[in-house]
Amino acid sequence: MHIYAKCIIAITIFTIVLILYSNPKIAVNIKSNILSTNHVASNKAESKISIWISVTKIDRGHLLTKFRKFFKSLVSQRGLCRAVFELNVITDNVSRPTVDSVIHEFSKQYKETLLELIYYDFQDVLKIIENKIEPLKRFFQSSKGSYYSDDVFYLSPALHLVAPKSLQKAIVIDVDTEFQSSVCDLYDVFNNFTDTQLFGLAPELSPVYHHILWKWRNYKGEKYKSREHIYLNGLNSGVIMLYLERIHNNNEYNQLISPEWISSVVQKYLFKGHLGDQDWYTLVSYERSDLIYRLPCGWNRQLCTWWKQHGYADSFDSFAKCSEKIHLYHGNCDTPITPN
């Protein structure tokens, strides 16, 4: 009987642990190195900034180096801000120990960090949102097995289905980024949103959409050949500000993410996308500019020069120009971020 009781207890504990680690709605919550409230103004002690990042297959390529740079810059550039950083990490079982190790390493180094760490299992997230992102994959995927064919590039438009409904705002960041200013300053940009704006994204700083839209421009004629026309440069999804509360309450949102709407806009612009959710945000900006806040380019200073070597040597600099203060570098297309 004594052995039987021990077995029951062991099974119960195992079941609880299994549920905690496998259900994204009961995400594992780890608070790392939160200092005493002596370092936090009493009226700010409970303020939080919700940051979301996807880190999967971290054993491939330079992803670990990128994540280390990202997280170090996040905690080292906090400035005078004393809000709690709620870092939501969407990852897989293989990557999680490595991610956890990096976070704890720099949390010890920057002891002023106020961090709440929440993990979401990547596969469980996909189960929740797969019906919503299927149209995005259908229209904005170049080919199966290509870099942007990975499901991780389609998550953000359906993130409101994963995040707690009580969460009002969130910032989604690519792993190949490095802060030069505090994320708190970025979060303050939400105050600049108009009453209708749901998303905040910076302009795409390459001619990729100028290139994609060549058929449409030629079809429309000379009037539409200027790259400045209706912000044809598009948007870059390396940094996305999501006003989740408004997305939940917006009656048009489900229509915008529906296969019918996407198909109609793709046909209208003769658009053949291949950059995941970024293509969707760009098309929304063409049709519903009132829904998108245009984040200054300094909050997503892309460094990729691929197009400069692929047909746009003469005009690339005019697309890539960003004369604003740089708050965040984005080393897209595996471009190294130069050390400070």
Q: Is the residue at 15 inside a domain?
A: no
Of the listed ranges 56-65, 94-103, 203-212, 316-325, the least confidently predicted one is: 56-65
Q: Is the residue at 2 inside a domain?
A: no
Q: Is the residue at 4 inside a domain?
A: no
- Domains held by the chain: number: 1
Q: Is the residue at 16 inside a domain?
A: no
Q: Is the residue at 11 inside a domain?
A: no
Do residues 277 and 155 lie in contact, with contact meaning Cβ atoms separated by under 8 Å?
A: yes
Q: What's this model's pTM, rounded to 2 decimal places? A: 0.84
Full residue range of the structural domain in which residue 324 is found: 27-330
Q: Is the residue at 22 inside a domain?
A: no
Q: Is the residue at 54 inside a domain?
A: yes
- The string of pLDDT tens digits covering residues 59-86 is 766 899 999 999 999 999 999 998 999 9
Q: Domain containing 213 — which CATH number? A: 3.90.550.10
| Percent of all residues in the chain with a pLDDT value above 70, rounded to a whole number | 80
Q: Is the residue at 35 inside a domain?
A: yes
- The string of pLDDT tens digits covering residues 15-65 is 544 444 444 433 433 333 322 222 333 334 459 999 999 999 887 668 999
